[in-house]
Chain A
Amino acid sequence: MLRIPCPHCGARDEAEFSYRGDATVTRPGADGDIAAFHDYLYTRTNPRGWQVEWWQHAAGCRAFLKVLRHTVTHEIRAVVTATGTLEVPPA
C-alpha cells in the first residue's frame, strides 16, 4: 500500500485515493481532431521509471493531485496540486 503525501492533508493511505492515470497529457482544445483526442485518451508511454500521474484524494479533500511516482520502486518523490508542474527526472 502506498502512502501518498497530499499537499493539503499530509501522508494518507492509498486506499483514500483513486487513480486517474497519466497526468502529462493535456485535453485538446475545441479545434482538436480525432487524432489529437485519440492521443489524449489512449496513447501512453508506459515508462519504466518516473511517471507523473493523477490521483484524486477521493476519500479526503477531493483534490486531484499530480504525483511523481517510480513505476518500479513505487517511490513517490513529489506531489503537487492540479495546476502545479513536476519535473520528470531520468529513469
Chain B
Amino acid sequence: MSAPEPTHPLAACATPGRHGAPGDAPLRVTLPRRDMVQVMARRGREDALAEAARAAFGLALPPAGQAAAAPDATAVWIQPGHWLFAAPRGMEGALAARAAAAFAGLAAVADQSHGRTTIAVSGPAARRVLARGCRLDLHPRAFGPGRAAATQIAHVGCLIHQTDEAPVFELTVFATLAEPFFHWLMEAGAQDGVLIE
C-alpha cells in the first residue's frame, strides 16, 4: 500500500466558484498546500539557530511580528523562540526531516503540516472582510508585507501573514478548527462576494 495524498481539512466545504454578493471585486480565496514545521530554539542557541537557518534555508530568522521568505521556504515568528517554517507541499515529513537535520541540537522540531492549514485571502475587500472578525489593525500604516501576527478570529486561533501589497493575507489556522473558521470567512465575505479559486 502506498501513501495517498492527504485529505485537505477543508475538502468538505471549500467549493470553488463565486459565493455571496455579485460584484467585480470579490474577496479571492485560495488554499495553498503547504508543509509546516514548528521550530523551537534551545535555550541560548538562538544565534546558532539563526546561522543554521541561513545556511539551510537561505533566510534570516525573523524577529517578533515578522516573517522572512526564501525562494523555497518562509519562516514566521510565532512566539518567543518559536518559528513556523513553511514550504510548498512535498514528500511526507520531508520538511520536518530537513529542519531536524539542519537544527539538530539547536532546536526542537514539530511537524505541523497536518495540524495547521493555510487560507490565503486577497483583493481590495480583504482588509474590510477581515475587520469583521480580526481585532488587529491591518491598515498599511500599521501592518504590511512581511508582517505577521498571531491572534484569534471568530474564536479560532489564527496566524496572519501579509505576503504582499495587493494585499494578500495568509491565514494559518488549526486543522480541526478550519471548517468553522472557513464558515465565518464565507459569511463575513458574503456582502463583498467571495471567489474561491
Contact = CB atoms under 8 A, between A and B. Distances in A.
Interface of A: 8-10, 12-13, 15-16, 59-63, 81
A36 to B, nearest CB: 28
B65 A10 contact: yes
Contacts of A81: 80
A52 B177 CA distance: 34
Contacts, number: 34
Interface residues of B, number: 12
Contacts of B150: 9, 59-61
Contact of B151 (A8, A60, A62, A63): A60
A8 B64 CA distance: 6
Interface in B142-168: 149-152, 157
Contacts of B64: 8-9, 61
Nearest to A81: B80
Interface string B119-151: 000000000000000011000000000000111
A60 B152 CA distance: 8
B135 A13 contact: yes
A59 B157 contact: yes
B interface SS class: strand
B135 A16 contact: yes
Nearest to B63: A8
A81 B79 CA distance: 12
Contacts of A63: 79-80
A61 B79 contact: yes
Contacts of A9: 64-65, 149-150
B96 interface: no
